[in-house]
Amino acid sequence: MQVPHPRPHVLSDPFDDFTPGMLRKILATPDSELKWYDYRHLLGPHLPAGTYEETVYFLPLAFDHAHAHADDALELCAPLIGYCSHHATALQADGLLESCRTLLTALLHHWTRRFRVIHFDEAGCRAKGWGLRHFDYVENAQLVWDALCELVAFRYHDDLPELFVHDLSLAADPVQAAWLLELAHQRRTASRVPDSLAIQAVLDDRQILMKAYALVRVEVMPDEPSPTYRTDVAKKLEL
């Protein structure tokens, strides 16, 4: 994505939320050394350090950072999605909006390119100080779920998560089928749910979920490291 605005020399702090020293520190940091919190300061989506013209230079760098650093990406969901929504008109005028939409979709596919369950048995839970007999989570699951929620919440690009979930429901790929089931599991357990009837309809469709589960049972479950995850998910989804 080629941005037609140079790296700024000044950040105007339109909401008076930063000290001059903080702004100077961000600007003095080389592109290669910017951290997730720098991008949050620059892009917002609330109380950004500069105007669109001052900050859009950093947008491709923030996308690259979210792609390369999954551990930081959760902190960048709202800044990236919010920025691409709040500044959609300006991005369109600069010929960048479709590139942003493509990059947002690419992140969803990148984060779901593999399916990995992390399992804690009773001893592992005890070592963490958890009073549980076991605990499982899917790598990047919270990240993907939050991205879907943010895309719907900001509204401007809410067709992207709907299309993403719809495509998962049609896929014959076992990894994508596993992700569909995990999202359906999140739908029933997460405190926040995308306010999208289209997404909810897919994740509540028993026929779609049964088809995905049949594929996962053959192609994924034999190699799954957790002895409890799939049973728990199937129970929650009543499969």
Closest to 70 in 3D by CA, of 140, 136, 175: 140
Q: State the pLDDT at residue 227.
A: 86
- Provide the pLDDT confidence category of residue 213 given band limits of 50, 70 and 90: very high
Q: What is the pLDDT of residue 180?
A: 97
Q: Is the pLDDT of residue 200 over 70?
A: yes
Query: Per the confidence metrics, is the pTM higher than 0.75?
Result: yes
Per-residue pLDDT tens for 98-156? Answer: 999 999 999 999 999 999 999 999 899 999 999 999 999 899 999 999 999 999 999 89
What is the predicted pLDDT for the residue at 221? 64
Mean pLDDT over the full length of the chain: 93
pLDDT band for position 218 (cuts 50, 70, 90): confident
Q: Is the pLDDT of residue 224 over 90?
A: no
- Alpha-carbon span 203 to 180, nearest angstrom: 8
pLDDT tens-digit readout, 64-85: 999 999 889 999 999 999 999 9
What is residue 222's predicted lDDT score, i.e. its pLDDT?
66
Taking CA atoms, 196 is separated from 84, 158, 191, in Å, by: 19, 8, 15
